[in-house]
Amino acid sequence: MDSHAILGEIPRLRRYARAMLGDRAAADDLVQDTLERAWTRFAQWRVGSDLRAWLFGIMHNLRVDQLRRPALATAPLDDYEEQWATRPTQSDQLEVMDLASALSQLPEEQRAVVLLVALEDMSYAEVADALGIPVGTVMSRLARGRERLRLIMAGQLSVNHLRVVR
Amino acid sequence: MSHLPINETDLQAWVDAALPEARRAEVEVYLAGHPEDFERVQAYQAQKKALRAMFNPVLDEPLPDSLRAAAAPPVTTAAARWSSRLAGWPAWRLAAGLLLALLGGATGWLARGQYPGGDELARVVPLYRQAAVAHAVFSPDVRRPVEVGAEQEAQLVAWLSKRLGTAVKPPKLGELGFELIGGRLLPGNSGPVAQFMYQDVAGQRLTLYVTTENPGNQETGFRFAQEGPVNVFYWIDGKFGYALSGSIGKGELGRLATLVYDQLERK
């Protein structure tokens, strides 16, 4: 692990953080925290392994820590829905939202998977590795996230902000 | 050709062009007969494109100085941690004492009566302490923990053997989870000494310090020493002195030292 290689990964880390958080300053702070943590853990990085995946994994864990700070652990209600809400036929007057705000309305877990696949061109296995989840979970979050994003964009899904207390 | 039903995973993988050719063809046959699904996956493709268009410009933004600086190894982590650990070390006190003795020797003959000369004092730096200091200096090094890496083991062995004037070979510690990452040549009390470095999957490092400077030709059993955060097992075998150092528990280090000893005995 050397600083030149790390420098080369920063633009991608920034892009992903910006897309995840929406806010430039908060995103750059997250990247900075990621780099700092990476240097304290360099001993855990194996020479020859994928530096990018490792850094994304660190960033993900930091983000999870940030989100965990509120005392009450919550999961998106979405995870508890067995079925997709049926399309509300009465509101065919489409309200198209802009992509950024639609993205911000995805549950964090789904947003991470959708963005890693779209922006980073990671394989599903690489996403699973970076996020520390099984590939099956990657696939279900990807499918849900994409569908949800599509429906929000098409104005066909009123976003449910309710969360379930675990 | 398989005839597995098309599922949601296939559709997602179609969007990402992640399907094997044969399966992709099957999915396309399916999509041709299911216009709603086709519309849906096309929307996902458009989504992916729109996300890239929206966020790719971030790649070209100039990096803030704070991030540029954070790409370099911070002085506040590894190096500082080690120097703060070293600060309380007998090794540093010894080095300071050595310096005082050298100054004393250089500035006035008065000191001669009280301190041994620099050369003599250096000779009494015990094996375990030399090894522990060498471990502390090199094992936290990110970029150059070793001079010659394990991928060039044959060269490493040939070089160190030549410089030490006798055959030296790094033992294999794989059965206890440590793999050789390389070695380097270091100055000892009166000539070159060798240091081999090992690492386990958690990134913990061990060093084996090998000297050929032992004049007494005596033998010792295992001895244990602790120098600050570094534990050391060391022993003398003929002209060879060996010291295995690491910031790991005495029990584990002892097992590793036994393994090293056994392999060196067999040669």
pLDDT one-digit tens code per residue, A122-147: 999 999 988 999 999 999 999 999 99
**Level-2 CATH architecture, domain A1-71:** Orthogonal Bundle (1.10)
- Work out the pLDDT band at B195, boundaries 50, 70, 90: very high
What count of other Cβ atoms lies within 10 Å of the Cβ of residue A80?
A: 9
Nearest residue of B to residue A121 by CA position?
B16
β partners of residue B184: B195
Pairing assessment for the beta strands B205-211 and B192-199 based on DSSP bridges = antiparallel
* A14 and B CB contact within 8 Å: yes
Q: Is the ipTM of this complex over 0.90?
A: no
Q: In this complex, do B67 and A10 lie within 8 Å of one another by their Cβ atoms?
A: yes
Question: In the prediction, which pLDDT does B13 show?
Answer: 96
Residue scoring higher pLDDT (A14 or A42): A14
Q: In this complex, do A43 and B54 lie within 8 Å of one another by their Cβ atoms?
A: no
Question: In the prediction, which pLDDT does A78 show?
Answer: 46
Which residues in chain B are closer than 8 Å to A44, comparing Cβ atoms? 202-203
pLDDT higher than threshold 80 for residue B1: no
Q: Write the CB contacts of A101 (distance below 8 Å, at least 6 apart in sequence).
A: none
Residue scoring higher pLDDT (A22 or A16): A16
pLDDT higher than threshold 70 for residue B183: yes
pLDDT higher than threshold 70 for residue B179: yes
Work out the average pLDDT over A25-38.
91
B136: exposed, middle or buried (Cβ count in 10 Å: 0-12, 13-18, 19+): buried
Which residues in chain A are closer than 8 Å to B203, comparing Cβ atoms? 41-46
Q: What percent of chain B has pLDDT over 70?
A: 78
Nearest residue of B to residue A25 by CA position?
B64
What single-letter DSSP state applies at residue B219? B
The CATH fold of domain A87-166:
Arc Repressor Mutant, subunit A (1.10.10)
- Work out the pLDDT band at B101, boundaries 50, 70, 90: very low
In which residue ranges of chain A is CATH 1.10.10.10 found?
Answer: 87-166
- Work out the pLDDT band at A77, boundaries 50, 70, 90: very low
Cα B16 to Cα A121: distance, rounded to the nearest angstrom: 8
* A149 and B CB contact within 8 Å: yes
- Tell me which of A84-88, B170-174, B187-191 is least confident: A84-88
The closest of B256, B259, B260, B258 to B247, measured between CA atoms, is: B256
Question: In the prediction, which pLDDT does B109 show?
Answer: 42
Residue scoring higher pLDDT (B96 or B134): B134
- Nearest by CB to A100, which of B54, B66, B202? B54
Q: What is the mean pLDDT of chain B?
A: 80
In which residue ranges of chain A is CATH 1.10.1740.10 found?
Answer: 1-71
Which residues in chain A are closer than 8 Å to B68, comparing Cβ atoms? 7, 10
- Work out the pLDDT band at A30, boundaries 50, 70, 90: very high
Q: In this complex, do A142 and B203 lie within 8 Å of one another by their Cβ atoms?
A: no
Cα B51 to Cα A120: distance, rounded to the nearest angstrom: 11
Question: In the prediction, which pLDDT does B103 show?
Answer: 45
- Tell me which of A67-76, B42-51, B162-171, B207-216 is least confident: A67-76
Work out the average pLDDT over A61-77.
65
Cα B194 to Cα B212: distance, rounded to the nearest angstrom: 9
Chain B residues near any Cβ of chain A (below 8 Å):
8-9, 11-13, 15-16, 18, 40, 43-44, 47-48, 50-52, 54-56, 58-61, 63-64, 66-68, 70-74, 77-78, 140, 142-143, 181, 201-205
pLDDT digits 0-9 by tens, B207-256: 999 998 776 667 777 888 888 888 999 888 888 889 999 998 888 898 89
Which amino acid is present at B130? Answer: Q
Work out the average pLDDT over B71-80.
59
Question: In the prediction, which pLDDT does B222 show?
Answer: 80
Closest chain A C-alpha to B131 CA, distance in angstroms:
21
pLDDT higher than threshold 70 for residue B128: yes
Question: In the prediction, which pLDDT does A46 show?
Answer: 72
* A6 and B CB contact within 8 Å: yes
In total, chain B counts a number of residues equal to: 267
Q: Does domain B127-266 have CATH number 1.10.645.10?
A: no
Which residues in chain A are closer than 8 Å to B48, comparing Cβ atoms? 117-118
- Which segment, A149-163, B100-114, B139-153, B194-208, is predicted with the most confidence on average? B194-208
Question: In the prediction, which pLDDT does A70 show?
Answer: 53
- Tell me which of A105-119, A126-140, B163-177 is least confident: B163-177
In chain A the first and final C-alpha atoms are separated, in Å, by 39
Q: In this complex, do B73 and A100 lie within 8 Å of one another by their Cβ atoms?
A: no
Q: In this complex, do B8 and A14 lie within 8 Å of one another by their Cβ atoms?
A: no
Q: In this complex, do B142 and A35 lie within 8 Å of one another by their Cβ atoms?
A: no
